[in-house]
Structure 1
Amino acid sequence: MSIIPDTEKLLNWYDNNGRDLPWRYKNGKKPDPYVVWLSEIMLQQTTVAVVKDYFKRFIIRWPTLFDLSKANLDDVLKEWSGLGYYARARNLHKSAEIISKEHLGKFPEHKKELILLPGIGDYTAAAILSIAFNKRATAIDGNVERVISRIFAIIEPLPSSKSYIREKAIEITPMKRYGDYAQAIMDLGSTICLPRNPMCNECPWEEACQARKAGIQQNLPVKKPKKTKPHRKGICFWITRNDGYVLMRKRKEKGLLGGMMEIPSTPWEKNIKKLDKALDYAPVKLPIAKWTILLDNIKHVFSHFNLSLVIASSKVTKHKFDKLTLTKDFVWVNPSQIDQLAIPSLTKKIVKVAKK
């Protein structure tokens, strides 16, 4: 007969061992839904260690939802630069506008309203409801999945076991301190019930853990083997004028790195194009002899593919660039001011190599 984990033990453990995080409210202080929402969006696909400093800067610059709703999107993207998954920043800004206009600045308190906002799904809605409004909603992230899989020794592989994990997680959610419980079980997964070498002797739920009793905690949750990421390649074009200005391009608002500034490039494909063919994609038409291939290649990892880029460099004379006709998404930028733009980590890598 299995032992149901005692949530009171977990809450007592949390009271004494919960993480001290810049967005966390303790000692009975009522959370600000804006702060909870912002932190949860930042924490999607990103570690706590990375998010901390970004959160602090962001909340200083836009301390309220209304402040964020009035912000320029490019400024928001710039502040987000380096966090990745830039659709999160665009959705955050759009949601702030919607809440300010359609909800008069009052954060929605019901799931059916929350999930209509861009960037908010089941998990984020549950986290906001439980942490910000102390409502009984079960937020299940990777940490919670791991804890529940081990407590109940769920050997069915993910993702097919997700529905059963959710069922068990809801079953043991207590009828009080919903926000504290949500954060407690997340902290348990982050600090004790680790993916490797879990510290079972320090776990408040050790007695109830079926995986621990069976000696299989290291093996759970069971996951299907990851697919090998495809590798894409391309050539980017570092084009400068006589005065040192660099030609950059703003990416389309939707899609990967949407709305960010970049160094123009060929499409990213399985095989790299020969330079003469690649130059068809260059924004400035110059003879092949005018281009120099830089020795250092750029390597970058996205969530769903790996990327390798070669940099082709060329300089345009004043006579030449005066005659150029460029679309509005292109702009000449002073290299000393590139860091002030909304640029992703990939562009930072390219600029660093090209400016050597």
Structure 2
Amino acid sequence: MKTVGIIGATGYVGAELLRILLNHREVKVTALSSVSFKGQDINSIYRNFIDKTDLVCDTIDDVLEKAEVIFTALPHGLSEGIAAKCIAAGKICIDLGADFRLSSEDEYKFWYERGFSHPELHKESVYGLPELNKEKIKKSKLIANPGCFPTSIELGLMPLLKNSIIDTKGIICDSKSGATGVGRGLGLSSHFPELNENFAPYKIGAHRHTPEIEETLGAMADDKVTVTFTPHLLPISRGILSTIYCNPKEAVDLENLYKLYKDFYKDQPFVNILPLGETACTKNVRYSNYCHISLHLNHRKDQIIVVSTIDNMLKGAAGQAVQNMNIVLGLDETEGLTFISPAF
């Protein structure tokens, strides 16, 4: 049984990681860290853990000493040094932040206003979208867990780009997220009077997930891909719905597209292609690690519309990180992750 630690355990993603891992049959959580709550029992911060664990929030060094697999659930810029220590000690690091998602340091500087502090590690890291890079993940000790919006978009488009069915320019990604995507820290946008009974886009044309989406889609298409990505904040706690508009290179048939998607994802346990005529929605993926995809054409049949939904805290973050851990440890990919969304 492998020992596991979580650095940044008191954020929403860290808490979701702990919730999943406490029910995982093949690993044991041995250490947690939190700068804000150092020395406090995790079950005093999140009362859902009462009588489930008595772990105390220690230091980062404590986690590195006590665990073989390290999850870093931290803001960008804080994980590279920790990852370097993990690799030097022969441990596995799964980073849920943005530090290793981009291969280009120039792009990282532009979007995150800082360079790589450990550029050598970026040659070792693997982008952790299992449906794309499963074989590479198996051999890696440093995994960059994808962002939540990118996960929904990339899974929605991968069959089309891998099979050169759509133009790589002019893809429109219209995405909506629940408030947990903003994080646990207080801010005006997530203040209840601002969020409740409201719906608005943010960071229009300038969201930091844009280069991640374009780089990963480009790898899928083996060509440069450009997207217009607009995120919106929904007055719900969790969930992402991405409506993606793309132009086929030639006339397409919806039945054939459906068969293509079903065949493409037939061996991927967490991607479900809905029957034609149905529409993916956030309700049916809440609290699950599944992605639901529905396929549509406009009335002229000259534009493909893909709807892709995930739980931003699970397939968009903590669940996918555990999926990556399962893969790199040689475990059943679905271990600890087969929970089904509640019906209401």
Tell me whether the two structures share a fold, i.e. TM-score over 0.5.
no
- Which structure: larger Rg? 1
**TM-score scaled to structure 1, two decimals?**
0.23
Report the TM-score when normalising by structure 2.
0.24
